Amino acid sequence: MVGPCVICCFWEITQLHLLPLSMASHCVWLALIIGNSRLHWAGFREAFFCGAWHTPHLSAADVKQLVSQNFNPSAWAALTPSNVPQLGLPDDQPIELWLASVVPQQVQLWRTYPKLQQVKPDRIPIQGIYSTLGIDRILALWGAGESQGWPVLVIDAGSALTFTAGAAGHLIGGAILPGLRLQFQALSQETATLPEVDYCSLETLPIRWAKDTSTAIQSGIFYTLLAGIQDYIIDWRRQYPNSQVILTGGDSTVLYTSLKIQAPEIAVQLKQDPHLMFWGMQAYHRQVSKGC
C-alpha cells in the first residue's frame, strides 16, 4: 500500500500542460470549486484541461493579490508550492472565473470580480435535484455521467464521505457521513481522553483487534468505513449491475488502496477520478457559455 502521507499531501497538481502566451484567448477560463476544507482550482482553454491544483481558503488580501496579477503563476507563490499552469492571458485581460461553492462566506470575496460566473443548479440538466443537494455533489454526478456514462454511483471522499447515484440523467439518491479525517478529529475533539491520531502515518491497514488506544481508533474507523462503502456498492450493483462506480475526493486514493487490500473483488469494480467535479464544471461551461 502506498503511504497515505503521500496520498494526503495538501498540495497537489495533476495533468499539467503549459500554454504559451501566443495562445492568449478569451476562451481561457478558470474553474473554482470551494469545498469545506480547501479550494479546488483548474485551468481550461476552451475544452482543453490544463491542470488542477488546491489552496486553503483565502483571505480578502489573497483574493486581491490574485486578481491584481490576473491569476498569473507568480501570484500563487505564497498560496501553493506547486507550479500553476501559465494559461496565456495578457495582464490587462481579465480571465473568466466559473465558481461553485458549498461555503457562502468564501463566495462573498469574489462578488465584485467582473468576470465571475457562478454556477446555478437549476441550469444543470439532472432531473430530481432537491434544493439542499450540494453543488459539489451535483457537479461530480454530472461529470461522472458525462465522462463515464449512466448509470453511475459517485463516492466522494472529502470532508464528508458522500454517495451520489444517478441513472439516465436522473438523481437516484445518496447518503452522507463524516469523512475519514473528520471521524478522527471528532474522537479527539469531542472526548476527554482519546488522543488525536494521524492516519497519514499508516503504511497499511491497521490491526483489527488492537491492543492500544491509537490503533483501536484506526481500526474502528477504517474497517467500519470500508465495510459501509462495500455495502453501498453491493446494493447499488444489485440494482444496476451494468453501471459505473467512481471514487473521487481528497481521501479517494487511500480508501481505494485500502479496498484493494480488504476487498479486492469490490475494488476491481471501481474507477478513480480526482477531477469529476471539473468534468461537471466543464459540461456546465459548455452548456451555458455562448462559445468562443
Domain boundaries, the chain: 4-118, 123-278
Question: Which grid cell sits at 269?
Answer: 469494480
The type of residue at 81 is: P
The phi-psi region of residue 158 (left if phi > 0; otherwise alpha if psi is between -120 and 50; otherwise beta) is beta
CA angle (231, 237, 242) in 5-degree steps: 160
Q: How many CB atoms lie within 10 A of CB 185?
A: 15
Q: Is 212 a catalytic residue?
A: no
- Going residue by residue through the chain (292 aa), what tens digit of pLDDT does each one get? 333 333 333 333 344 333 343 444 458 899 999 999 999 999 999 889 999 999 999 999 999 999 998 898 888 988 987 778 877 766 678 899 999 999 999 999 999 999 999 999 999 999 999 999 999 999 999 999 999 999 999 999 999 999 999 999 999 999 999 999 999 999 999 999 999 998 877 778 999 999 999 999 999 999 999 999 999 999 999 999 999 999 999 999 999 999 999 999 999 999 999 999 999 999 999 999 865 5
- C-alpha grid cell for residue 54? 488546491
Q: Which three cell numbers stand for residue 1?
A: 500500500
Q: Name the nearest CA neighbour of 140 among 122, 123, 162, 118.
A: 162
Angle, CA 30 vertex, CA 25 and CA 34 arms, to 5°: 170
Q: Quick check: do 4-118 and 123-278 share a fold? A: yes
DSSP 101-132: ES-HHHHGGGTT-TTEEE--GGGS--BT--TT
Could you tell me the CATH superfamily of domain 123-278? ATPase, nucleotide binding domain (3.30.420.40)
Backbone φ and ψ of 170, nearest 5°: -115, 140
Q: Provide the sign of the torsion angle of the four alpha carbons 242, 236, 147, 142, taken in this order.
A: positive
Residue with cell 471539473: 278
Among the options 62, 92, 136, 251, which is catalytic? 136
In this structure, whether the domain defined by 4-118 belongs to CATH 3.30.420.40 is answered with yes
Buried b (16+ CB within 10 A) or exposed e, 11-39: eebeeeeebeeeeeeeebbbbbbbbeebb
DSSP-derived 3-state class of residue 178: strand
